Structures are given as C-alpha cells and as structure tokens.
Amino acid sequence: MNPAIAANPLTHPKDKIIVALDVESADEARSIFAELSGSVGAFKVGLQLFTAEGPRFVRDLVERGAKIFLDLKFHDIPNTVAKASVEAARLGVWMFNVHASGGSEMMTRTAAEVANVCERESIARPKVIAVTVLTSSNRETLAETGVSDETESQVLRLAQLTAKCGLDGVVASPLEIRAIRASVASNRFLIVTPGIRPSNATNDDQKRVMTPAEAVAEGANYLVIGRPITSASDRQRAVEDIITELSKPI
C-alpha cells in the first residue's frame, strides 16, 4: 500500500487539499474561504497575509471553522521559537511550521512547550512541521551558507532530525517525497507538499511540479495548492477536478 494511505487510511481526498491564501487582504481571503470551506481540508496563511492582517484575522478564520496551516517558518533562538509557537497554538491553528535548520534544541523545545501548553489550556495540539531546505535553494545557495553537501543529503539530514525531535513532519518538494519516506521510518511522519499542478493547469513559476495524484502516490499526506485553485475562473470546479484526479488510481 502506498505509504501516505497507510499513514492516513481514513483521509478523504478533499481533506488532503490545503488551499494557499496567497492574497493581500482579509476580504479576499475570507471570500475564498467562504467559497471553498466545505470543499477542501484546510487553508494556508503565509507571511504576506499574516503581515498584512495579523493574528486577529487568523483567529477570526479559526472561529469561522477554518483549519489553518500557519506558514510563518519560525527560525530564531529556541526560546523565541518555542514562545512564538505557543502563541500559534493559542490562535487555534491546525498546523504551523519552523525551519529545521534552527536545530534540535529549537525543535525539541518547541514541540515540548506546545504540547504542555495545549494540555494545560485544553487546546487541540497543532501539528508542528519543519521546512528542510527551501525549494528556492540549490547547491550554490547551500554552498554560500557553508553547507557543502548535495541538496538532497541536506534535505534528508534535516528530515531525520525533525523526526528525531518529535515533530509531526516536514514540508517537501514533490521530488523529495520518496527519499524522505525511505529515510524516515515512521509512517506517521507527515509530508506536506507544494509545487502541485493538476494535469490541466499551467506551471506558473513552479519548476519542479507533480500532479496531485502523483504526489499522493509518492507518499504525500497533504497538498498545498494555490493558484490552480485561487486563480481559476471557477474555483469549485477546479477543486472538484483535483478531487476526481485524486480519487482515480494511477
């Protein structure tokens, strides 16, 4: 059985879809949410929207029933990341992320403090995932920062570190999924994958893409999809087409 299905036997295809709310205003984001809330699993709020509209806006979406992946990629000293992560949990988000390159103390402390606060304050514990190497980075970018390994070795090193620190998973390019699944033993380890393009969509600026069904077959648990849905003339239809693609065996 494919590893993502083994990890997530009850997930309906729609629950795998996380729509990236890469828009500049709360009004635009709310209207996409209102249009798609029953049709997809979750929504991603990233740096642009968060910087424009802030935590109150995130709380407002959560209160409207949204499952939110807060994509702020925390990277700072362990104390600061742990405290910021506790505040993300208090916002009620379903998932958020940190940079694995912040190291094991940062990740371990974050996982522990989030778990403690959630238990003490009866908050549903958000999934904590890590970014390994940004897909905008390549060997030269890594070399500039003193990392002489190949990109894939660094991705796998950081994925293994993330798992060892007790985090729930990683964000990974579609092309990294298979190697990560092979190098992290736990089938509960989540892989969240952007760079997804349905078979009928344009690539925009994404260079290394896979279709939704291919990424799930490789072992992705969740797919982050932005423009193929948000820029579609009929967003519902775009989502339905993706769900149909996901429901067919490949």
Query: Under the criterion CB under 6 A, does residue 221 sit at the interface with ligand C5P?
Result: no
What the block records as the tokens of 123 is 């908050």
CA 64 to CA 66: how far, in whole Å?
Answer: 6
Window of 82-90, 100-108, 118-126, 219-227 that interacts with ligand C5P by CB under 6 A = 219-227
The residue within the footprint of ligand C5P, chosen from 11, 14, 39, 46 (CB under 6 A), is 46
Question: Which positions from 86 through 125 interact with ligand C5P, judged by CB under 6 A?
Answer: none
- Kindly state the helix (H) or strand (E) to which residue 122 belongs, with its residue range: none
Choosing from 14, 16, 67, 73, which is the catalytic residue? 73
Near ligand C5P by CB under 6 A: residue from 27, 119, 121, 204: 204
Which x/- pattern, by CB under 6 A, does the window 48-87 give for ligand C5P? Answer: ----------------------------------------
Residue with Cβ nearer ligand C5P (64 or 208): 208
- Asked whether the beta carbons of 108 and 166 are under 8 A apart, the reply is yes
154 binds ligand C5P (CB under 6 A): no
Residue pair 215/223 in contact (Cβ under 8 Å)? The answer is yes
Note whether 84 and 74 are within 8 A (CB).
yes
Distance CA 158, CA 235 (A): 35
Compare residues 21 and 117 and give the one whose CB is closer to ligand C5P: 21
212 binds ligand C5P (CB under 6 A): no
Contact 78, 106 (CB under 8 A): yes
Closest separation in Å from C-beta 1 to ligand C5P: 27
* Pairing between β-strand 169-171 and β-strand 17-20 as defined by DSSP bridges: unpaired
Q: How far is the CB of 198 from ligand C5P (least distance, A)?
A: 10
How far is residue 29's CA from residue 26's CA, in Å, rounded to a whole number?
A: 5
Helices (H), the chain: 3-7, 26-36, 47-63, 78-91, 104-120, 139-144, 151-164, 177-183, 212-218, 227-230, 235-247
Clarify whether 73 is annotated catalytic.
Answer: yes
| 164 to 193: interface string for ligand C5P, x by CB under 6 A | -------x-x--------------------
Catalytic residues: 73
Question: Where do contacts with ligand C5P occur on this chain (CB under 6 A)?
Answer: 20, 22, 46, 134-135, 171, 173, 194-195, 204, 206, 224-228
